[in-house]
Amino acid sequence: MEAVLLYEGKAKRVFETDKPDEVIISFKDDATAFNGVKKDSFADKGKVNLAFTKHFFNLLQQAGIKTHIISFIDKTSLRAKKVQIVPLEVVVRNYAAGSLCKRLGFEKGMELKPVLCEFYLKDDSLNDPILCREHIKYLNIATEQEVAYIEQQALSINKVISSFMDSKGITLVDYKLEFGRTSDEEIILADEISPDTCRFWLKGTMESLDKDVYREDKGDLVSSYKRLAEILGLEIN
Ligand code: TMP
Ligand code: ASP
């Protein structure tokens, strides 16, 4: 019997399982940028991003961060707790890049101390606008305590992943996280962590090994992701 598709996003599909509180998430080879304006498909991208997600989520679970992942099924799919995604894109920035430089004129690579945590509304039809905390309250997305918890989790995640990447000679410039609410109202880390959702620069040169390669037409996306995987010692086959 074919699994029922619950949701299809730009880079993943979510399927029903025989358990009401579990889903299967399958990683696609599709890549998009600028809210879907640019769209392509790259062989192996799904399995490469799943390998990064597996590695980072394992590191986070070992550090005590609660996540949606239950188990890894095969090269492109995983089993996860079914959650209601909190419609926030939580962006953490260690160095200025991307939209922050465009919006505020910051110099690319400027260190951000203290680390900057921003919230964007997860709504493609509105082009994911940036939100302040009052907007989050008016939109009834999350309580003040939940927002504080999400920010604290996002910053703990930063420590875990930044220090791992530092040890491999890579700078974690910024990244986007999504959180979900379980049926018993617990907020846990969801979605993925991969070069699609983070900016990674080679230390010293600021060379991008992430989706900026595709956004800015700087080379072959999957080759850059595989190069990063090799630097980190991840198995991809
Ligand atoms: P930005 O500089 O374009 O706002 O992106 C900040 C970080 O968030 C960067 O690591 C890329 C990631 N990101 C996503 O994962 N999805 C998105 O839709 C956007 C706009 C950014
Ligand atoms: N994720 C967004 C898109 O799919 C934007 C981006 O990552 O640049 O278009």
What is d(CA 55, CA 45) in angstroms, rounded to the nearest whole number? Answer: 16
**Structure tokens given for 74:** 């095969």
What is d(CA 141, CA 6) in angstroms, rounded to the nearest whole number? Answer: 22
What is d(CA 180, CA 80) in angstroms, rounded to the nearest whole number? Answer: 11
Residue 1: its pLDDT value, please? Answer: 64
Contact yes or no for 92/64 (Cβ under 8 A): no
User: Residue 175 Cα, ligand 2 centroid: separation in angstroms?
Assistant: 12
Residue 154: its pLDDT value, please? Answer: 98
What are residue 99's phi and psi, to 5 degrees?
-65, -25
Residue of 85, 176, 191 to test ligand 1 pocket, by largest number of atoms within 8 Å of CB: 176
Contact yes or no for 173/101 (Cβ under 8 A): no
Closest among 100, 90, 93, 216 to 149, alpha carbons compared: 90
Contact yes or no for 116/97 (Cβ under 8 A): no
| HEC string for the chain | CCCCEEEECCCEEEEECCCCCEEEEEECCEEEECCCCEEEECCCHHHHHHHHHHHHHHHHHHCCCCECEEEECCCCEEEEECCEECCEEEEEEEECCHHHHHHHCCCCCCEEEEEEEEEEECCHHHCCCEECHHHHHHCCCCCHHHHHHHHHHHHHHHHHHHHHHHHCCEEEEEEEEEEEECCCCCEEEECCCCCCCEEEEECCCCCECCCHHHHCCCCCHHHHHHHHHHHHCCCCC
Measured from CB, residues less than 6 Å from any atom of ligand 1 are 91, 97-100, 174-176, 197-199
pLDDT by 10s per residue, the chain, length 237: 679 999 999 999 999 999 999 999 999 999 999 999 999 999 999 999 999 999 999 999 999 999 999 999 999 999 999 999 999 999 999 999 999 999 999 999 999 999 999 999 999 999 999 999 999 999 999 999 999 999 999 999 999 999 999 999 999 999 999 999 999 999 999 999 999 999 999 999 999 999 999 999 999 999 999 999 999 999 887
Q: 27-54 b/e with 16+ CB inside 10 Å = b?
A: bbbbbbbeeeeeeeebebbbbbbbbbbb
Q: What is each CA distance from 98 to 36, 81, 140, 145, in whole angstroms? A: 17, 32, 28, 29
What pLDDT, in 10s, does the model give residues 38-49? Answer: 999 999 999 999
Q: Closest Cα to atom 18, ligand 1: which residue?
A: 35
What pLDDT, in 10s, does the model give residues 88-124? Answer: 999 999 999 999 999 999 999 999 999 999 999 999 9
Q: Which ligand is nearest to the CA of 198?
A: 1
What is d(CA 120, CA 89) in angstroms, rounded to the nearest whole number? Answer: 5
Q: Closest Cα to atom 4, ligand 1: which residue?
A: 99
